[in-house]
Amino acid sequence: MRFWILKILAKQVWQHTIKSRSTKVLMVLFNALLLFSVFTGYFTMENHHENTEHYHTKVREGWEKSPDKHPHRMAHYGYVAFRENYPLSFFDFGMDSYLGNAVFLEAHRQNTVNFSEASFSGGLLRFGELSCALILQLLIPLLLIFWGFDLITKERENGTLKILLTQAISWQELIWGKTLGLFILSLTILLPIILISSILLVMSLDSHTGLEPIVRWGLMILSYLIFIGIVCILTILISAKSQSSKSALTQLIGCWLVFTLVLPKISQVAGQNMYHSPSKIEFDTAIEAELIKLGDSHNPNDPHFSALKDSLLKAYGVDSTHKLPFNYGGVVMQEGERLSAEVFNRHQKQLVQSYEQQQDIVRKTAIINPFMAIKNISMGLSGTDYANYQDFQKQTEAYRYQLAQHMNQLQIKLISNQKRKPTEKNYSISQKYWASFPDFEYRFLSLETVLKSEVYSFLAMAIWLFGLFFLIKNQERKFKV
């Protein structure tokens, strides 16, 4: 292919399209829409960050200033962990608005993550939020279809296609020249928002995240450019194969509907039907039923804990738990916490596995649906997909277990085994032990983990891009004037 031919054809597309008043209006409208969405997303993210920092500080102060008390009471006093937003979440909200942001951590109980944005919003949130990612994934392809559906069919209808092809211009040069022109048009909308988003990203960086968000942002820009390139190629290819502009527009609108609405919904329903996941009531009931079989730490006559007591009395050669050299109640609570955590983690792992299997069905449709590929990549790099939320749940559960067992250890070591008289105060330990317990620090998923989880989506994008290259090269003789 000759580059100067491609340049002329691309310039022709630019001049033909840009002279239209509707094109200029659409450019201004889409740029304004993207700027509005990116600034709205950024200020929402900053507001969330300020609220998280504020309440996190209050929780920590309340924990450290809690008065002297029994460590088991402190374990039930609990802690609150907050989910932070990744610096790129202003660009793609993903699932953030539908997932909880705070969880109460206490002994013997695994609570759900609550206070999602959706729980405080009206029904309009069901239709999604206007983020930059949503506009680039759904609306920009429609705009490119509007600009490019007739770029070749109009040449055919006007009779100028024969003239172009008789002037030693090949079909490949014609298609790639028109595609280049359409892609350059898309840059009038992409470049401003990329520049503004880059500035906002740099402003939101801190020592907690380092420079990794910049690397993610570079990968996201590249992914969106490839996605827009795929849309441009597909638009021009269908225009080349269609006999009329009306036919090309109908086919392209049909493709857009299938890619953005039909296939995602079908894949979600198929995944849910193939891999069943229990409801919240079923999940909690199954855990409670298994815990009853294993042992109840609050029941002194429970077989499991009776056997534990007998083994300790035998090991220390005493006939009463009050004669043990440590607090027996702390040992019971420690064992009860271990059992409940093991049961919960096993059931939670099975639940997450069913969700992942459902998501795999959706993810595999990226091979035939580039929209799903860019959606998964965008959410993954923005830290707003379900994998990041699930990792937050893992970290909070690990912290909750560590907190509960630490309090149990304090009870075992520092609380006397002798019962207090009714007139005496209950046993307690100094508040300095609360202050010495480390604060919860949420760590985002690493870039390496994100890339591994989205390798299928990246592969799908590559297959689409090179597949279209191959199709154009091998279908050249089948195009009709």
pLDDT at 53: 93
Lowest mean pLDDT among 42-56, 159-173, 314-328: 159-173
- Euclidean distance between the first and final Cα of the chain, in Å? 20
Quickly state the pLDDT bin for 278 (edges 50, 70, 90). Answer: confident
pLDDT of residue 124: 45
Residue 421 pLDDT: 66
What pTM was estimated for this model as a whole? Answer: 0.90
Identify the pLDDT of residue 406: 93
Q: Mean per-residue pLDDT for 114-127?
A: 59
Confidence of residue 422 (pLDDT cuts 50, 70, 90): low
At 169, the pLDDT band (50, 70, 90 cuts) reads: confident
Q: Pick the most confident of 225-234, 298-307, 339-348.
A: 225-234
Examine the pLDDT at 409 and tell me if it is beyond 70: yes
Is the pLDDT at 3 greater than 90, yes or no?
A: no
The stretch 200-228 carries a mean pLDDT of: 90
Least confident of 122-136, 155-169, 362-376, 407-421: 122-136
- Contact (CB, 8 A) for 355 and 274: no
Residue 263 CB partners (closer than 8 Å, separation 6+) = 365, 368, 369, 371, 372
Q: What is the pLDDT of residue 128?
A: 55
Can you spell out the DSSP letters for 106-145?
ETTEEPPPB--TGGGS-GGGGG----HHHIIIIIHHHHHH
Sign of CA dihedral 344, 347, 353, 355: negative
Q: How much is the average pLDDT of 267-293?
A: 87
